Chain A
Amino acid sequence: MKNLTLCSVVAIAAMVSAVPAMAQPADQASHLDVNQLFATTCGWCHSDGGRVAGKGPQLMNTKRSDDFIRYRIKHGKEGAMPAFGSTLNDADIDKIIQYIRALKPEQP
């Protein structure tokens, strides 16, 4: 079974919180630009904005659950994906999941 890996990073420093994501208020808004996020960091492993497999697996049309993706972003996977739990909050991660669910093939 393949493991899903996700690279991500917070793009707006002001939004960064050192508080563990689980302890953050539920209504916290995210100002994350996920498109830019992929071009900054995630795209190193998740090619073409996550549309195709690269060093990490394809994210478009992933069968993984939201909970699985959230866990992987927070905790990473040894030797494959960094942990981003200290740089992304729950709202940021929700936004990344929305981005992944909305991924469509590139139009020629």
Chain B
Amino acid sequence: MKQKQRTLALSLTVAVGTAFAASTAMAQAIDSKRIEANNPNDWLTYHGSYNSYHYSGLTQINAKNVKDLSVAWIHIPGHSTRGLQSMPLVADGVLYYSGSYSRVFAIDGATGQVLWSYFPELDDALVARQTHSPYNRGVALGEGKVFVGTVDGRLIALDMKTGKPVWDTKLIDSQKLTIGFTGAPLYVNGEVVIGSQGGEWPVRGMIYAVDATTGKLRWDFNTIAPTDETKKTWGNDSWRVGGGGGWMPGGYDAETNTIWWGTSNGAPLYDWSGPDWMHNGARPGTNLYISSVLGLDAASGKLKFFHQENPHDVWDFDSAVGEFLMIDRAGQKYVVHPNKGGYIFVYDRSANVKNVWPISHNINYAKIDPKTGELTDRRDMTAGKQAEVLCPHISGGVSWNAGSYDPKTGLYYKIGNEWCMHLEVVKTTPVTTPQVQLNIGANFTIAPPPNGPIYGHLDARDPITGQTKWEVRFPEPPLASVLSTGGDLVFVPDARGTVHAYDATTGKELWNHGDGTGHQGGIISYAAHGKQYVAVVAGFGGMASDDYAPTFGGVFKSMPRDDGALVVYSLSK
């Protein structure tokens, strides 16, 4: 069942008028220096800044006046199959965001007037055969262009002023491999980095860097056994169908020119190896580089260092969550990274483990030594029904959306989720023809934790020690990103459709407003013409939220799965 992942670096330069200019004349070009400078009026990259803070330094909206926050304008993108999941970006007062099918909009940030829109033509027959589709989680900005990935395996550059395509590069043979791109790209120093979606598809998932000017492939990194040495970590040549990928944008350490990227789980998702997983099961060995954080040289894509957070991951607790908080404290430079299994890893800037702490209260897949990062008491299952529920649920103790770090309070505001699952592990055979199919390796059902109901919580934590300052509970796990601001506020869009604002120091709720449908995407703050705005995407129906109607009933039973809106708030007085 040999399968070769081919990189189709077919750069299609689209003729736009006359010749394409390498850099559109703008108020100020967007390059890595400008992204690094992190002007609070803008939100130039998925994580808000290269240090992944998801924090806005703006103070116009603050704890004293947030009670006067109201809707400034709304944008309805339409055709929002599986809701809206993207992180809006803002540059020079213009907001850019993507919806389902990688549709991109540029909107005047003050008025809500649409400046341009771009609807790529997708391979509809392929989209109809995909499971994790057709949502898109965001765009990148750089050098006068907007970059967006597609579920049919392309990375597209649009002129920032006109929305006209500049180049359109096919990177993945999605017709054969099924997977494409759902995550946002990351712009760094003249290149656009994006990772393939996946994990449980029997492929070899990749991370790509494309030249921002030409659209040509600069380098790629195979997350599954890229060397002879790493092939030895996959018994029985299982690397050929190993899975992997990197479905969320990572971070960037400018000091060392290092891209930090998290990788997906392996295929099959679950394994029947039992405790002797080094020699038994579907993929014997540690399976490099699944469920790992990678440090890649930005210029070459060469691996500088890595840490495999869950060796031989058999729980779908991968490392693809893209936050890499770069925090300096007491002379030490840290990188804080949440893993889907509910543990938060604290590294130095070379991925050496400094601490590991749990944000989820119900974790029984493994314990992790906080000094070494090594797993103990692993739940390595054999085929058949599992007597005990596995915690957390496959949707994660930490879901893929981002938390927020407030440098003023020194606190990390992050959602932890409490849910588990019944499992029956089943031996499966990878399917790669005529088209690659999911390879799960189990039947499963969502279940409450052993000692109570399913719920979620927003925690205010010390990001290094994990010490809790305060916690707010939600009856259903919130799935959207979190935003903290210089106005001593923490914004949390919840699953039922309400945006909450809390006092960043005490956790006291100061304001809330209904957006009409559940949240599972981004939230940002920006300024236009001297006025501060908070923008949030609403629209339910993704992979995690699809479980809400049968699990919780209530408002989720009638919540649409094909609708959404961008809702933008400002002070009414």
Partner of A11, one of B431, B442, B444, B550: B431
Asked whether B130 lies within 8 Å of A10 as measured between CB atoms, the reply is no
- Residues on B with beta carbons closer than 8 Å to the beta carbon of A44: 131, 438, 440
- Residues on A with beta carbons closer than 8 Å to the beta carbon of B131: 7, 44-45, 82
Asked whether B128 lies within 8 Å of A48 as measured between CB atoms, the reply is no
Asked whether A40 lies within 8 Å of B541 as measured between CB atoms, the reply is no
- Residues on A with beta carbons closer than 8 Å to the beta carbon of B170: none
Closest 3 CB pairs of A and B: A39-B426, A79-B81, A55-B546
Mark A residues whose CB is within 8 Å of B: 7, 9-13, 16, 18, 35-36, 38-41, 43-45, 47-49, 52-56, 75-76, 78-80, 82-84, 86-87
- A43-B444 CB under 8 A given contacts A11-B431, A18-B434, A78-B81: yes
Cα A38 to Cα B427 with chains together (Å): 11
Asked whether B438 lies within 8 Å of A35 as measured between CB atoms, the reply is no
Cα A82 to Cα B428 with chains together (Å): 20
Asked whether A54 lies within 8 Å of B550 as measured between CB atoms, the reply is yes
- Residues on A with beta carbons closer than 8 Å to the beta carbon of B428: 11, 36, 39-40
- Residues on B with beta carbons closer than 8 Å to the beta carbon of A10: 431
Cα A18 to Cα B176 with chains together (Å): 13
- Residues on B with beta carbons closer than 8 Å to the beta carbon of A86: 129, 434-435
Asked whether A54 lies within 8 Å of B561 as measured between CB atoms, the reply is no
Asked whether A40 lies within 8 Å of B440 as measured between CB atoms, the reply is yes
Min C-beta distance of B86 to chain A, whole Å? 16
Partner of B443, one of A11, A16, A43, A79: A43
State how many residues of chain B have any CB contact under 8 Å with chain A.
38
Asked whether A87 lies within 8 Å of B435 as measured between CB atoms, the reply is yes
Mark B residues whose CB is within 8 Å of A: 1, 81-82, 100, 128-131, 134, 268, 422, 424, 426-429, 431-435, 437-446, 541, 543, 546-547, 550, 561-562
- A87-B561 CB under 8 A given contacts A48-B443, A76-B129, A79-B134: no
Asked whether A13 lies within 8 Å of B432 as measured between CB atoms, the reply is yes
Chain A residue at minimal CB-CB distance from B128? A83
Main secondary structure of the interface of A (DSSP, over half): loop
Cα A82 to Cα B435 with chains together (Å): 12
Cα A45 to Cα B134 with chains together (Å): 16
Cα A18 to Cα B428 with chains together (Å): 23
Min C-beta distance of B133 to chain A, whole Å? 8
Asked whether A39 lies within 8 Å of B440 as measured between CB atoms, the reply is yes
Chain B residue at minimal CB-CB distance from A38? B443
- A87-B444 CB under 8 A given contacts A35-B426, A36-B428, A54-B547: no
- Residues on A with beta carbons closer than 8 Å to the beta carbon of B130: 82
- Residues on B with beta carbons closer than 8 Å to the beta carbon of A82: 128-131
Min C-beta distance of B327 to chain A, whole Å? 36
Cα A33 to Cα B179 with chains together (Å): 24
- Residues on B with beta carbons closer than 8 Å to the beta carbon of A41: 431, 437-440
- Residues on A with beta carbons closer than 8 Å to the beta carbon of B547: 54-55
Asked whether A43 lies within 8 Å of B440 as measured between CB atoms, the reply is yes
A-B CB contact pairs (8 Å), 19 listed: A7-B438, A13-B432, A18-B434, A39-B424, A39-B441, A40-B426, A40-B437, A40-B440, A43-B442, A43-B443, A54-B550, A76-B129, A78-B128, A79-B81, A80-B561, A83-B129, A84-B129, A86-B129, A87-B434
Chain B residue at minimal CB-CB distance from A80? B561
- Residues on B with beta carbons closer than 8 Å to the beta carbon of A38: 443
Chain B residue at minimal CB-CB distance from A83? B128
Asked whether B442 lies within 8 Å of A39 as measured between CB atoms, the reply is yes
- A48-B438 CB under 8 A given contacts A76-B128, A83-B128: no
- Residues on A with beta carbons closer than 8 Å to the beta carbon of B550: 52-54
Asked whether A13 lies within 8 Å of B431 as measured between CB atoms, the reply is yes
Asked whether A87 lies within 8 Å of B443 as measured between CB atoms, the reply is no
Partner of A9, one of B1, B437, B445, B446: B437
- Residues on B with beta carbons closer than 8 Å to the beta carbon of A36: 426-429
Min C-beta distance of A106 to chain B, whole Å? 8
- Residues on A with beta carbons closer than 8 Å to the beta carbon of B424: 39, 48-49
- A13-B433 CB under 8 A given contacts A80-B561, A86-B129: yes
